[in-house]
Structure 1
Amino acid sequence: MIEARRLHILRAVSDHRTLTAAAAALYLTPSAVSQQLTALEQETGHRLVERSGRGVRLTPAGDILLRHTNAVLAQLERAEAELTAYSSGAAGTVTVASFATGIGLVVAPALARLALTAPGIRVRVQDAEGDASLPMVLDRQVDIAVAVEYRGAPGVDDARLTHVPLYAEPFDAVVPVAHRLAGAEQVPLAELAKDPWIGPYPGNPCHDVVVLACEAAGFQPGLEHQSDDFRAVVALASAGAGVALVPRSALLGMDLGGVVVRPVDGAAPTRRVFAAVRCGAEEHPLIRPMLDALAGAAPVEGGAP
């Protein structure tokens, strides 16, 4: 008989590629992970993991078991949801991980909605960048991720997750008030090819949006200054340090006295925001109300500063 907890470990090893990283995500020791994998191999009669460079990878037998693991764990999530609904209904704690702008734009308003519609549900919120929150869901550190589409992110067809679209918002061009294009109604990105740029670090989903938009305009942005804090990005632009692309909602409430904000000419770069839960957990009586509250709080489109 295969133990479900060992299937969680197998999936974590597949996701994180090293025993040490998988152990950290699951709050276990590497030796405990190794022991559980050995026990799983004994249960199945197959070698499931092999070394690959400095990490590990699944064997063909491990890949077969992983496909079944995703289905089994999703069904266990559904069973837990039904049992919770049967025994106690909507009373308990839900954890949500979201990037900072998402917290302000949808998570906080969703909490206000939930306080009226499901007062028995307590929500705990953690600040996490869009590329960090999805692994937190898969590793069962949180229940819901509010995340941004990015290169390499699990897609809507990923068997491990259920996606709930929330909103899409454009990026606007931010240039110093003395910039040559400050008087333009719209800013052609190609005209900024030789400017110094300010933007997020690689790994931040917004970095991908900026770079891909500039590549589509025919150039690589010269990122001379980097920060994941858009207030810092705008402050640097105000000081004349460069130009930037910033999500429209991130500009709300900022001091924009030293910059000019303009729409991008043509197809605007866009970030798409969604909520994600482990597959099978979407109908959990604690999670479903929060997903509904997030969807209800989401703007039809990104707000303008």
Structure 2
Amino acid sequence: MSDALASLTLRQFRLILAIAEDAQLSVAAERLALTQPGASRMLAEIERLVGQPLFDRHAKGMRPTPVGEVLARHAATLLGGLDQAASEMAAFRAGRTGTVRVGAVTGAAVAYVVPAIQTLRRDAAGVDIRVDVAPSVDLMGGLLAGEYDFVLARVPSETDTTAIEVLRGRTEDLALLGRAGHPMAGDGPLGLAGLSSLTWVMQAPGMPIRAAVDAAYLAEGLAPPSEVVDTASLLVTLAYLRDTNAVAPAAREVADLLIGAGAAGIVRLPLARPITLSPYNLIRRRQRPASPVAERLMTMVLDRLGQ
């Protein structure tokens, strides 16, 4: 019997299930696009292989024998699993399921990755999405190690650029944050010289925001701030600003999000001259095919970067 079952084809299993569900050979044959004589010959061949009749014929149609009930039940399980697999494969190819791993610097994550994910989720609820926010050097290391499908980051000088493809990018403007009621909040556009005596809460030396602030000071012939609390933690920054007159530079998109959410009474302190960060880009590895859903999300992010 086991050898006989192993020799049955999917088409034969479909016929067994169709006859069990319809109770009429003619109806089952029509459902499977078979002629009635062709369906009859196929059923006879199945019963020959199994060695027992699968259906009792009676005036009102066909009723499964005990062996026929077993085969019909397992045919439903087998064919249902195949149909589910086909449905999942179709969803995968269409980019409605699967896994995406994205890395981004903070401003890019807020401005471009999050809105793209929200759009994708509207018709791809089954997608598993991981987003990491980290410094560019960590993101690039993760990309080259295969941890990300793509990243929005700056390319560190030591990166082997032959292994990556650098696509569309954006520059970021910095906003200066302080607590609500900050003594300089109503003074109009602020020059860097007047801010030098304050404590600055920002990234460590060499990181993009710190480098942009230092460069802006040097461009005006001024020494960069000497009172600095080094941190990359947004929570630490907010906690420090809340109870002091310190200031903190942040990407404009991040500042807009914090102020719009009313985060801990944070306000923007207007700068007399804009401070611009070095550009970041959407970057992926060369010669590494991405899944359909990763390609779909990457296209959405690229479209937003181009607007």
SS state of the match for residue 253, structure 1? helix
What residue number does 2:157 align with? 152
Shift of 1:129: 2.7
Kindly indicate whether the alpha-carbon contact (under 8 Å) linking 1:230 and 1:250 is maintained by their aligned counterparts in 2.
no
Corresponding residue for 1:236? 240
The code of the aligned residue for 1:133 comes to: L
For 1:234 and 1:112, locate their aligned partners in 2 and report how far apart those are by CA, in whole Å: 26
In the TM superposition, residue 214 of structure 1 has moved relative to its aligned partner by 2.7
Please say if residues 173 and 187 of structure 1, whose CA atoms lie closer than 8 Å, have aligned partners that are also in contact: no
1:219 to 216, 219, 223: 223
Residues 1:194 and 2:201 are matched in the alignment: no
Give the secondary structure class of the aligned counterpart of 1:168. strand
Structure 1 residue 221, shift from structure 2 partner? 1.6
In structure 2, how many angstroms separate the alpha carbons of the residues matched to 1:236 and 1:260? 14
Task: Using the TM superposition, give the Cα deviation of residue 278 of structure 1 relative to its aligned residue in structure 2, in angstroms.
Answer: 0.5
For 1:262, which of 251, 257, 269 is the aligned residue?
269
Q: 1:280 — aligned with what?
A: 287
- 1:289 is aligned, of 271, 296, 306, to 296
1:50-77: per-residue Cα shift (whole Å, max 9, x none)? xxxxxxxxxxxxxxxxxxxxxxxxxxxx
Q: 1:130: which partner in 2? A: 136
Confirm or deny: 8 A CA contact 1:92 1:286 kept in the other structure.
yes
AA in 1 matched with 2:270: P
Q: Distance in 1 between matches of 2:238 and 2:144?
A: 34
Amino acid at match of 1:129: P
The equivalent of 1:75 in structure 2 is none
**1:108 and 2:114 correspond:** yes
CA drift at 1:137: 0.7
Asked if the contact 1:173–1:263 (Cα under 8 Å) also holds between the matched residues in 2, the reply is yes
Q: Secondary structure at the match of 2:177?
A: strand
For 1:1-305, list aligned pairs within 5 A.
90=95, 92-116=98-122, 122-147=128-153, 149=154, 152=157, 154=159, 158-176=161-179, 179=182, 181-202=184-205, 204-217=207-220, 218-251=222-255, 252-254=257-259, 255=262, 258-270=265-277, 272-281=279-288, 285-298=292-305
Between structures 1 and 2, the one with greater helix share? 2
Q: 1:206 to 1:94 in 2, by over 3 A?
A: same
Shift of 1:178: 5.6
Shift of 1:288: 2.7
Q: Identify unmatched segments of 5+ residues in structure 1.
A: 1-86, 301-305
Comparing 254-263 and 131-140, the one that deviates more: 254-263
Q: Would the aligned equivalents of 1:146 and 1:275 in 2 still touch at CA under 8 Å?
A: yes
Change (3 A) 1:179 1:89: closer
Give yes or no for contact 1:174–1:261 (8 Å, CA) kept in 2.
yes
Partner Cα separation in structure 2 for residue 88 and residue 196 of structure 1: 53
C-alpha change, 1:259 and 1:89, in structure 2 (3 Å) is closer
Task: Count residues with an aligned counterpart.
Answer: 213
Structure 2: where are the runs of 5+ without partners? 1-91
Shift of 1:210: 2.6
User: 1:159 aligns to what SS in structure 2?
Assistant: helix
Deviation at 1:150, TM superposition (A): 6.7
CA distance in 2, matches of 1:295, 1:131: 21
User: Which one has a bigger Cα radius of gyration?
Assistant: 2
Letter paired with 2:239: A
Q: Deviations over 1:246-286 (max 9, x none)?
A: 21222213546655413322243235332210023477645
Q: Deviations over 1:212-267 (max 9, x none)?
A: 22332322222432221234323322322522222122221354665541332224
Query: What residue identity is the alignment partner of 1:222?
Result: S
Note if contact 1:166-1:298 (Cα within 8 Å) is conserved in structure 2.
yes
| Structure-1-length-normalised TM-score | 0.57
Change (3 A) 1:113 1:222: same
Task: Look up the SS of the partner of 1:165 in the other structure.
Answer: strand
Post-superposition Cα deviations, 1:109-139, rounded to whole Å, max 9, x if no partner, equal 2223234576786433334333211111111
- Is the deviation greater in 278-287 or in 104-113? 278-287
- AA aligned opposite 1:275: L
**SS of 1:220 mapped into structure 2:** coil
Alignment partners' CA distance in 1, 2:194 and 2:289: 45
Separation (CA, whole Å) in 2 of partners of 1:123 and 1:213: 37
Alpha-carbon separation, structure 1, partners of 2:182 and 2:233: 22
> Aligned partners of 2:178 and 2:122: how far apart in 1?
42
**RMSD over aligned Cα atoms:** 3.5
